[in-house]
Structure 1
Amino acid sequence: MIYVTETLLYVCFCIITGGQILSLIPEDKRPKIEIPNWLIILCTGGIALLSFAPVFKIIDFFAKDFGESYWLIGKGVLLDFKLGHAWLYTLFFSLALIFIRVLRGSKKDSLVDILGLTFTLGLIGAFGWASHCASNYAIKGFMTHSTHFLAVSVWIGILLVVAWFSKDQQHWQAFFKWFSPVALACVSVTVVAGLILMKFIVPEYLNSWMITYGQTLLIKHVLIIPLLVIAFMNGFLTKRKFLSNPNYDPKPWLRVESILAILVLAATSVMGQQNPPHELSIENTIKLTQPSSLFTLFNQLPADFMVKIGINVWSVILLLLCALLIFTMLFVFVKRQKASLTVICLGLILAVVTYVAVMVSVV
């Protein structure tokens, strides 16, 4: 259940961020967007509620361990723990955003939209302050995690909103003209910040595959591959679609990209509930926990606890199959208009085959 709530938390962040940004974009640069005001308020309240889950987990642990009341322990956690401070900031920005959205109602007001975006950035900052990376690496961890999450929220947030809340077929070409470079910039920032986060949290990336956290991170990475393929289609190949058909409807393919993005967020939520191995070597981590059952399904634990990658017949065959699947996804996108479900299935198969190819390459 905690994985579901964490995924919903990420989706709430994306919807609010995407909605706030698009409200500031001129109407001739995007399709008509209609997000119910109640949904923005619900997502904002959802952030405050869902982000309280890890705080309550700590409160529950200490209350049971010391036999004290939840109220007393809760007050101590909120006032003395960094996680508690971060949640209080989250609560403040959430209430502020709800307040101005209630005052705004359904009316268009640029000043309110700018304030809303400011409070949204505050929510993202509070989320970054509560992260593992900020707890262990102070300002540099906070800045890296917040930048990473901001880039993801902008990219996936705009994507989710236009895919599911656009109401007409106008100005799509104008939208892609600015959104494609924005998405590319966000992806680039996400990759760079993600690599820095990995250096902080998972310094032994290959070796981390032997434990559950590393396996989840690997699954997240292989899910990103079909997501980037679809993003490439929507960002670059869509221009050809508009040249041949000015009335082309890109929403089905944007929804495909958004669904795959949510799956990546779900994998991220699983990671968020596990302890990263940044303080111990993988060898010592395995001594304290258990090796990943997924890893041992494909390989035995190496005697020296060092994972290495090698090329073999099966890995070559599977990588060629991956290339074929990518080509098939591109072909279906170019040649067929209503095949979004097919591309989702191909994307998931691509992720599975990539994962197996990596695991059989371990020596």
Structure 2
Amino acid sequence: MEFVITISQAFLYVCFSVLLGSFLLLIVPNDYRPNLKISKKVLLICAITLPIFAFIPVLNVILYMSPRFGFLDSFKLVLTTYTVGTAWDFTLLLSIVLILHIIMVRTLEEKTIASLGTVLTIGLILTIAWSSHAGALDLWMGIISDFLHLTAISVWVGILLIIGWCSNNHQRWREFLNWFSFVAFGCFVTTAISGLLLMDVIVDEYISSWMISYGQGLLLKHLFLLPLIFYALVNSFIVKSKIAKDPLFNPIPWIRIESFILLTIFTITAAFSQHAPPHGNYLSNEAVSPLFRLFHDDIITSSNTIGFVVNGNTVAFFFVSVLLIGLMIFALLKKLPIVISFLLSGLLVMSVYLMLMVTIVIR
């Protein structure tokens, strides 16, 4: 069931991104973005499947309670009294409104229509934040920080996805980058601040949390920010410079790489969000992540902490990481296929991760 939940949550985030990115770009005047061909059918599919994906964690709770209360009674109890169920009730209601909105309008390209779609999608994000782990631990701070985090990343990913895969051409790209660079920076800052607030609510000790599965996922998510920032800078500065020198230069592949990395972050987030957050007296030898065990097989108790000692392996992985950054720049300059650039990004994350793991000592 854990695998099903992970996949469903990853697709849930994609639905939010596609809907929010589409509606926001339809609000932007045509003179400030490339021509787009956004499929109404795709938006409708996202709106229909969104409450289904959001229901999977609710179903998990129902199945957990079923042996004791029976399926129907558990279903009724969760949807009427548990926060995760009540929040999903509102998710379903808003989804129905959004589905009718998409079906009934002739075109989504009118600013008023797209604006209403944006409001409904943001409302749906709020219902998901309401049912989050953070919201359960700290009602207002948890919900607000989770809402800002998911909204900011959905705006960022959504615009990149739609621009990268629904553009008919790359005309007016400089006009697009002129405003999107500020939007992406704003999303990054909002994501970082809200992420810190979430960590303050959920994670007692960030470094020590690396010993359990939740912390491992959080670390990998943060490491994928390294190539993300690299390609965000590429799209903001280098691509803009290349377009100025060569109007025929096609920047879309670099937007697609950035969107791939963000989708990877979404998947990691969906995976580790299903594990118990490191809050309270969480650390024990049984709770240690199998991934962390590959590097450290010490007996670990709640009194243990993580320290760092630089060694030969640390230095080796550091130079490998620098080499991979150089290869990423080389791939950009030589216009190599985006698959190679994405692979290099993954190898960079792996190298930095291994560098940290071999540097750790248990105290």
Is TM-score (shorter-chain normalized) higher than 0.5? yes
User: 2:304 aligns to what?
Assistant: 305
Confirm whether residue 65 of structure 1 aligns to residue 64 of structure 2. Answer: no
For the residue of structure 2 that corresponds to 1:324, the secondary structure is helix
Q: Deviations over 1:14-35 (max 9, x none)?
A: 1011011001000110011112
Summarize the alignment of residues 200-239 of structure 1 with structure 2, pairs less than 5 Å apart. 200-239=201-240
Q: Deviations over 1:215-251 (max 9, x none)?
A: 1211222222222212221122111111221122111
User: 1:322 aligns to what?
Assistant: 321
Deviation at 1:168, TM superposition (A): 1.7
Summarize the alignment of residues 150-169 of structure 1 with structure 2, pairs less than 5 Å apart. 150-169=151-170
Separation in 1, partners of 2:100, 2:280: 42
Confirm whether residue 361 of structure 1 aligns to residue 359 of structure 2. Answer: yes
For the residue of structure 2 that corresponds to 1:205, the secondary structure is coil
Separation in 2, partners of 1:45, 1:250: 32
What is the identity, as a one-letter code, of the residue corresponding to 1:275? A
Is the alpha carbon distance of 1:159 and 1:178 closer, same or farther for their aligned partners in structure 2, counting shifts above 3 Å?
A: same
Query: What residue ranges of structure 1 are gaps of 5+ in the alignment?
Result: none
For the residue of structure 2 that corresponds to 1:209, the secondary structure is helix
Deviation at 1:309, TM superposition (A): 1.7
Contact 1:37 1:105 in 2 (8 A): no
Query: What residue ranges of structure 2 are gaps of 5+ in the alignment?
Result: none
Separation in 2, partners of 1:164, 1:34: 9
User: 2:344 aligns to what?
Assistant: 346
Q: Deviations over 1:255-293 (max 9, x none)?
A: 1111111111110011121111213242xxx25x43212
Separation in 2, partners of 1:295, 1:110: 50
Separation in 1, partners of 2:133, 2:177: 35
Separation in 2, partners of 1:84, 1:75: 9
Deviation at 1:167, TM superposition (A): 1.0
Separation in 1, partners of 2:281, 2:360: 22
User: 1:296 aligns to what?
Assistant: 293
Moved more, 44-53 or 216-225: 216-225
User: 2:142 aligns to what?
Assistant: 141
Is the alpha carbon distance of 1:281 and 1:73 closer, same or farther for their aligned partners in structure 2, counting shifts above 3 Å?
A: closer
Moved more, 215-224 or 156-165: 215-224
Identity, in percent, stands at 33
Deviation at 1:2, TM superposition (A): 2.3
Separation in 1, partners of 2:64, 2:263: 30
Deviation at 1:208, TM superposition (A): 1.2
User: 2:14 aligns to what?
Assistant: 11
Separation in 1, partners of 2:134, 2:148: 12
Separation in 2, partners of 1:312, 1:290: 27
Separation in 2, partners of 1:222, 1:132: 22
Separation in 2, partners of 1:247, 1:11: 31
Confirm whether residue 122 of structure 1 aligns to residue 123 of structure 2. Answer: yes
Deviation at 1:315, TM superposition (A): 0.9
Separation in 2, partners of 1:194, 1:62: 32
Contact 2:214 2:273 in 1 (8 A): no
User: 1:22 aligns to what?
Assistant: 25
What is the identity, as a one-letter code, of the residue corresponding to 1:95? I
Separation in 1, partners of 2:31, 2:305: 56
What is the identity, as a one-letter code, of the residue corresponding to 1:311? V
Separation in 2, partners of 1:236, 1:128: 34
Q: Cα RMSD between the aligned structures?
A: 1.5
Deviation at 1:38, TM superposition (A): 1.1
Deviation at 1:107, TM superposition (A): 5.2
TM-score (norm 1): 0.94
Contact 2:317 2:352 in 1 (8 A): yes
User: 2:262 aligns to what?
Assistant: 261
Contact 1:86 1:129 in 2 (8 A): yes
Deviation at 1:54, TM superposition (A): 0.8
Moved more, 222-231 or 175-184: 222-231
Deviation at 1:339, TM superposition (A): 3.0
Separation in 2, partners of 1:183, 1:239: 15
Moved more, 353-362 or 99-108: 99-108
Separation in 2, partners of 1:57, 1:297: 30
Deviation at 1:108, TM superposition (A): 2.9
For the residue of structure 1 that corresponds to 2:207, the secondary structure is helix
Deviation at 1:154, TM superposition (A): 0.6
Contact 2:152 2:187 in 1 (8 A): yes
Moved more, 307-316 or 87-96: 307-316
Summarize the alignment of residues 25-36 of structure 1 with structure 2, pairs less than 5 Å apart. 25-36=28-39
